[in-house]
């Protein structure tokens, strides 16, 4: 595996640390209040309290890992928050270094010429534009696990891929949607051994952790699912943005509610959107899976194997579909797509960079103005949301498009070592490099 140059490997981490230097402590409240909640959760766990039953906790159990590790590594005993938020920032910087290395390994398969360097430079750009989301949220942890799952799938390491997906789901649920994109290539090649290994390892880890937590807290383990089901239409989501825009046009203030640690848009129209949200989400994810299946099949027929760029596009499209159809679109959700956006073709990458920058412009920079329903911020929100919808459509078209019409970095077919780079367990070893 070829790693990026040392300066590019650590530069995104240095950018994250710089965020802490330039962020006044008083700006952590209320704009980045999540990191204080993480501190409280870690403190409660360190004092012997259990999540769900002993203190309220809205996330799956392994979300406690990125919250608690910074708390426990402090050698001087329990750290005060003034120290903890720096420790958390250091933890995020370390995760970012690991992400650069992981994406560099994937990029070597997408752009064999100089993939690791290219993706490292792109991550520097994305770290700059999305710094607040990366620095003060724990979503980089499941994002790294998702990237590791994709790398393992490309290497044909089904058990590792299953473990990474299971751990990601136990941290933030959303990596579950990646299963079709990862498993479909093995299904196409009738590699049932890898399918079974992926499923068995993933299920074993999930059942073990969930069973352990259930034994400690009982039925309270289901509280994160109940919590999410009870949430309304979060203010930054696609549907909420349209309702806020409607309120501006009709000069009728929207009805906002402040619950579940977030701001939601309520009212009859919000209820109508919520009633159809889940079916639309399932249809969107299913549609992307079908398009990905078609693309993978074309790759196998024409190339003899799955193009790594096709898998990356399928994963990115799946996550984009989740963002578009979800009833919640908090700013940190941009981090879910960030690793795979760094691997997309150039114009799609820059579109995502604009989306990430606009998201920060909404939260934390202008969230108070959004709550006040100031028109410029509502327009900004809807522009961001329209661009996300546009990116999803673009990715879906890219998947559907015939392989011969896909723009390539090189027009030649590149032969690479079977044991090192055979993705998805397929026998042929011919790959195309893609931009």
Each residue's pLDDT tens digit, 256-290: 999 888 899 999 999 999 999 999 999 999 999 99
Whether residue 71 is contained in a domain is answered as yes
Whether residue 383 is contained in a domain is answered as yes
Please give the average per-residue pLDDT across 199-210, as a whole number. Answer: 98
Whether residue 1 is contained in a domain is answered as no
Kindly indicate the confidence band of residue 410, based on its pLDDT and cuts at 50, 70 and 90.
very low
Each residue's pLDDT tens digit, 155-179: 999 999 999 999 999 999 999 999 9
| 225, two tokens | 């699912």
For the chain, the straight-line distance linking the first and the last C-alpha, in angstroms and rounded, comes to 19
Cα gap 382→371, rounded to integer Å: 14
Lowest-pLDDT choice from 30-39, 73-82, 245-254, 414-423:
414-423
Picking from 249, 244, 417, 202, the residue whose alpha carbon sits closest to that of residue 329 is: 244
Q: Dihedral sign, CA of 281, 282, 287, 290?
A: positive
Whether residue 273 is contained in a domain is answered as yes
Cα gap 185→402, rounded to integer Å: 17
Number of neighbours of residue 347 by Cβ within 10 angstroms: 11
Whether residue 157 is contained in a domain is answered as yes
Q: State the chain's maximal CA–CA distance in angstroms.
A: 63
Helix (H, G, I), strand (E, B) or coil at 255: strand
Residue 80: CA atoms inside 13 Å, Cβ hemisphere, count?
A: 1
pLDDT for the residue 24:
63
**% of the chain residues with pLDDT over 90:** 73
Picking from 46, 336, 396, 310, the residue whose alpha carbon sits closest to that of residue 169 is: 336
Each residue's pLDDT tens digit, 68-91: 999 999 987 899 998 998 999 999
pLDDT for the residue 25:
60
Each residue's pLDDT tens digit, 311-325: 999 999 999 999 999
Domains held by the chain: number: 1
Cα gap 424→306, rounded to integer Å: 7
pLDDT beyond 60 at 408: no
Question: Using alpha carbons only, what angle is made at residue 178 by residues 150 and 170, rounded to the nearest 5 degrees?
Answer: 95
Q: What is the residue range of 93's domain?
A: 6-432
């Amino acid at each position: 595996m070829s790693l990026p140059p040392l300066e590019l490997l650590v530069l995104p981490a240095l950018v994250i640390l710089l965020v802490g230097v330039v962020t006044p402590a008083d700006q952590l409240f209320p704009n980045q209040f999540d990191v204080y909640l993480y501190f409280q959760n870690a403190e409660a766990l360190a004092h012997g309290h259990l999540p769900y039953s002993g203190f309220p906790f809205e996330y799956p159990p392994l979300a406690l890992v990125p919250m608690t590790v910074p708390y426990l590594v402090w050698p001087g005993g329990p750290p005060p928050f003034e120290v903890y938020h720096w420790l958390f920032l250091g933890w995020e910087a370390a995760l970012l270094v690991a992400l650069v290395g992981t994406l560099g390994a994937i990029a070597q398969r997408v752009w064999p010429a100089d993939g690791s360097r290219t993706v490292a430079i792109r991550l520097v750009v994305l770290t700059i534009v999305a710094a607040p989301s990366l620095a003060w949220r724990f979503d980089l942890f499941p994002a790294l696990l998702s990237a590791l799952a994709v790398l393992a799938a490309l290497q044909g390491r089904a058990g590792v891929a299953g473990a990474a997906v299971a751990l990601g789901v136990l941290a933030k649920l959303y990596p579950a949607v990646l299963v079709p994109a990862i498993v479909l290539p093995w299904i196409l090649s009738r590699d049932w051994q890898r399918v079974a290994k992926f499923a068995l390892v993933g299920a074993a880890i999930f059942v073990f952790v969930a069973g352990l937590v259930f034994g400690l807290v009982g039925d309270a383990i289901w509280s994160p699912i109940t919590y999410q089901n009870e949430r309304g239409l979060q203010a930054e989501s696609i549907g909420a943005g349209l309702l806020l825009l409607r309120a501006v046009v009709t000069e009728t203030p929207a009805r906002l509610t402040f619950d579940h640690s977030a701001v939601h848009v309520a009212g009859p129209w919000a209820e109508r959107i919520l009633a159809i949200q889940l079916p639309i989400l399932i249809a969107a994810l299913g549609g992307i899976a079908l398009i990905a299946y078609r693309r993978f099949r074309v790759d196998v027929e024409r190339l003899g194997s799955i193009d790594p760029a096709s898998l990356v596009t399928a994963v990115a499209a799946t996550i984009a579909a989740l963002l578009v159809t979800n009833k919640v679109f908090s700013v940190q959700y941009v981090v879910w797509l960030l690793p795979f956006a760094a691997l997309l073709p150039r114009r799609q990458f820059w579109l995502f960079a604009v989306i990430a920058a606009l998201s920060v412009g909404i939260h934390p920079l202008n969230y108070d103005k959004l709550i006040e329903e100031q028109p410029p911020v509502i327009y900004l929100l809807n522009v961001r949301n329209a661009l996300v919808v546009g990116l999803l459509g673009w990715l879906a078209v890219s998947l559907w498009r015939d392989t011969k019409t896909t723009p390539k970095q090189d027009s030649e077919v590149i032969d690479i070592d079977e044991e090192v780079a055979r993705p998805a367990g397929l026998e042929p070893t011919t790959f195309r490099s893609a931009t």
